[in-house]
Amino acid sequence: MDISSRDTQEQRIYIPGLGFILGFGAFCVIGAVLFYLLVSTRTVPVLPDQASLQSRNTDSLFYLLVLIGSFVFFLVQGLLVYSVYKFRARPNDTADGPNVHGNATLEIIWTVIPSIVIAVLGVLSVWVWNNNNAVLADDNLVNGRSVPIHVTAQRFAWLFEYQTGEKDINDKDIVLKGSSLHTYVGQSVRLTMNTLDVIHSFWIPAVRVKQDVIPGRTTEFRFNPVEMNLPYEFVELIGTGEDGTTLYLEASADSEAVFNLKQNDTLEARRRATDESGAWTQVELVDSRLAWVESAAIGGQMHRYRIVCAELCGGGHGQMFAYLYIHETEESFLSWYSANLERLRVPPNDPVELGRQVLTSGAYPCANCHTLTSLGWQGITGPNQNGIADRAGNRAAASGADSGADYIMHSLRQPQDYLVPGSWGAQMPAFLAEGELNFMSEDDLIGITAYLCTQTATGNPQDNTCGLEFGDDGALVDVDAALEYLRGLAAKYNP
């Protein structure tokens, strides 16, 4: 058998010289250090701002992972490219490579070294994890007292409740509810979380912590906001005086000229500019409208970050987010906190005004799903609420409700009973008359109903067909009669 034509095998494998090994090693190390420096100095920012102690710890671990990871990257890709370049068969070279089956020393090296590296990484990870979970101070200190903060997740919104421990003039507990989370630099934040429906995941990218919110369990979320040496872009506007504070909106086709921030109403806005005297500040509202406001109305300054849902929860998953406001100081935080407390201490007797306060403060998470232009709601997963007073009145008879107001109340207490045409199922959880989760007090129910009864297509409350009578000034003609009527309706939905 003549095989001489192919019998030209090289029987020795190519062993690189010391120069190559050192040079290639240097290439990998320099490449890794370069990546490390680019990332750790934030020259190439690959992670959001470091708003918490946890983010600083986690990022140091991440930078180390980048260092090790890019070393492996350059090692493997480098060897790959070099091999292809160096050992590529020349045209017409039909010979085989050397018959080499392995090398025990090398194989031990590339088993042992990775084992050591991951052992070290494991220890460091546990260390960072413990540091991140460490409790540094009493939870949620406000004026030296711990204020429990509870988070309720539902499709598709977050609700934050501060158990203030204060009483209002009717001797009821004041729970400060809102659609944003407020905290301040130095606070040790602890949140307890529940969900009303599916699994959600509470994630603040700037904080680097994520925790699922699981049906049937209460989970916990801790973080410690820190000073970042970044300009505070956002300000807290607080309505002062009997008549409140006026925001002068910059002219645009579809905006009103002024916007009144009633006494103790709070509003977060982005600071855009200050005039020469410093007495006036230009701000950008959440719906992107620009306005000028007296600088005196600014209660504090803060950073704003997104809180998002990271676990698939349904059709509105992408729209499920809220804002975290990190106030510069505890004083700044208190300006927001105290104004809200003051407002809640004296609930208005007029149900329409109460409803407006409840809805604008974000005490119920309506805005994420519903559209109601008068309040700036832009949600799209739920039925549109513009002109709801007309439709409620029209549907009342067909649905067997006493009146439009009854229809609205029924829709809040038992949303699954009515399906809006074109909707594929009631995703809104029922707002219950008792219990901890998704509780809506009778006063709030009446207030919200009364407010929604003013939302007619024409914008004039007098045109409503809900069953409430409004005067020329847009206010209820007889507040007590209206309250009595609404209380009678609400009683039907008590357990």
The alpha carbon of residue 334 and the mean position of all alpha carbons in its chain are separated, in whole angstroms, by: 21
| Binding-site member from 193, 209, 372, 452 for other proteins (CB under 8 A) | 209
- Cβ nearer to other proteins, comparing 91 with 400: 91
How many other CB atoms are there within 10 angstroms of residue 156's CB atom? 25
Q: How many CA atoms are closer than 13 Å to the CA of 111, on its beta-carbon side?
A: 6
| Binding-site member from 52, 58, 454, 455 for other proteins (CB under 8 A) | 58
| Contact pattern from residue 454 through residue 473 relative to other proteins, giving x for each residue in contact according to CB under 8 A and a dash for the rest | --------------------
- Cβ nearer to other proteins, comparing 292 with 418: 418
| Binding-site member from 17, 18, 43, 88 for other proteins (CB under 8 A) | 88
Residue range at the interface with other proteins (CB under 8 A); choices 28-36, 263-271, 307-315, 470-478 = 307-315
- Cβ nearer to other proteins, comparing 188 with 195: 195
| Binding-site member from 76, 134, 258, 477 for other proteins (CB under 8 A) | 76
Segments in 327-458 forming alpha helices (H)? 330-345, 351-360, 388-399, 404-413, 442-453
- Cβ nearer to other proteins, comparing 130 with 274: 130
Cross-strand pairs, 195: 153
122 near other proteins, rule: CB under 8 A: yes
CA dist 361 and 257 (Å) reads 22
Burial string for 187-221 (b: 16+ CB within 10 Å, else e) reads: bbbbbebbbbbbebbbbbbbbbbebbbbeeeebeb
CA dist 342 and 333 (Å) reads 14
201 near other proteins, rule: CB under 8 A: yes
Residue range at the interface with other proteins (CB under 8 A); choices 76-84, 182-190, 235-243, 403-411 = 76-84
- Cβ nearer to other proteins, comparing 19 with 422: 422
The alpha carbon of residue 105 and the mean position of all alpha carbons in its chain are separated, in whole angstroms, by: 53
- Cβ nearer to other proteins, comparing 35 with 160: 35
101 near other proteins, rule: CB under 8 A: yes
Task: Enumerate residues 127-146 that contact other proteins by CB under 8 A.
Answer: 128-129, 132-133
Judge residue 351's burial from the number of C-beta atoms within 10 Å of its C-beta, 0-12 exposed, 13-18 middle, 19 or more buried: buried
442-453 and 479-491 helices, crossing angle to 10°? 120
Residue range at the interface with other proteins (CB under 8 A); choices 25-33, 118-126, 174-182, 354-362 = 118-126
102 near other proteins, rule: CB under 8 A: yes
225 near other proteins, rule: CB under 8 A: no
87 near other proteins, rule: CB under 8 A: yes
Q: How far is the CB of 110 from other proteins (least distance, A)?
A: 4
334 near other proteins, rule: CB under 8 A: no
CA angle 455, 369, 366 (to 5 degrees): 60
- Cβ nearer to other proteins, comparing 10 with 342: 10
33 near other proteins, rule: CB under 8 A: no
Cis peptide before 156 (omega within 30 of 0): yes
Task: Enumerate residues 369-408 that contact other proteins by CB under 8 A.
Answer: 381
Gyration radius of the chain over CA positions: 31
Q: How many CA atoms are closer than 13 Å to the CA of 421, on its beta-carbon side?
A: 4
Cross-strand pairs, 152: 159, 194
9 near other proteins, rule: CB under 8 A: yes
323 near other proteins, rule: CB under 8 A: no
The answer to whether residues 307 and 158 touch, using CB atoms and an 8 Å cutoff, is yes
CA angle 46, 52, 55 (to 5 degrees): 40
What six digits make up the tokens of 401? 């409700």
- Cβ nearer to other proteins, comparing 121 with 334: 121
Q: How far is the CB of 213 from other proteins (least distance, A)?
A: 9
316 near other proteins, rule: CB under 8 A: yes
Q: How far is the CB of 128 from other proteins (least distance, A)?
A: 5
| Binding-site member from 142, 174, 193, 309 for other proteins (CB under 8 A) | 309
